[in-house]
Amino acid sequence: MITVALAKGRLARDATELLEKCGLELSELKTETRKLVLFDGSGKYRFVFVKPSDVPTYVERGTADFGVVGKDTLLEADKDIYELIDLKFGVCRLCVCGYPDSLERAGGILRVGTKYPHVTKEYFGTRGKTVDIIKLSGSVELAPVMGLSDVIVDIVESGKTLEANGLEVLEEVCKCSARVVVNRVSLKTKKELVPLFEKIRANV
């Protein structure tokens, strides 16, 4: 059996549509249910629905053979897994955001609010900038508004939330989209994955 880890929400829905195009019968995945483990029509594929940040862990540990997760989550997790295919959906940008003059006004140490402490440390570290990273879980945009941080590092899609709070994109860290990530052992031992990945590539 092949086990697939899917990030709950829109990425799971988009991944389901893509896998159906590849020939999998996934009607069970489209039904309203609280089950966290579901199967395809053939019973050959098992799907587990987890928090996006947990997908890389399930794949690295081999609990899932492969998964679908955003590039931003992948960078933050920094796991020993193989990034195989860019699925071209879930497109967004990871950016440094704040008031227009935030970077200029900041003192010697830049205070950064973010859900991505690892990525933030790497990004500013390569620029030789000393930062005070403030780990947040909720509405990151609130941090500079309330004076908790000078800037934020966060995902930007439409930019409307930034605009509504007087903030803007100051620097782009990287572009992100959904990726297929694979357990290294599974890729070598489960040969049936190869034709599936070929179909995925053909349908992206």
pLDDT for residue 107 is more than 80: no
Band the pLDDT of 163: cuts 50, 70, 90. Answer: very high
Distance CA 58, CA 50 (A): 9
Contact (Cβ atoms closer than 8 angstroms) between residue 24 and residue 47: no
pLDDT for residue 158 is more than 90: no
- Each residue's pLDDT tens digit, 55-95: 999 999 999 999 999 999 999 999 999 999 999 999 999 99
Residue 190: CB partners within 8 Å, gap ≥ 6?
A: 2, 65
**pTM score, whole prediction:** 0.90
Distance CA 200, CA 182 (A): 13
**Average predicted confidence (pLDDT) for the chain:** 95
- pLDDT at residue number 167: 96
- Each residue's pLDDT tens digit, 19-40: 999 999 999 998 888 899 999 9
Distance CA 129, CA 108 (A): 9
- Where do we find the tokens 């990425």? 11
Structural tokens at position 176: 């992100």
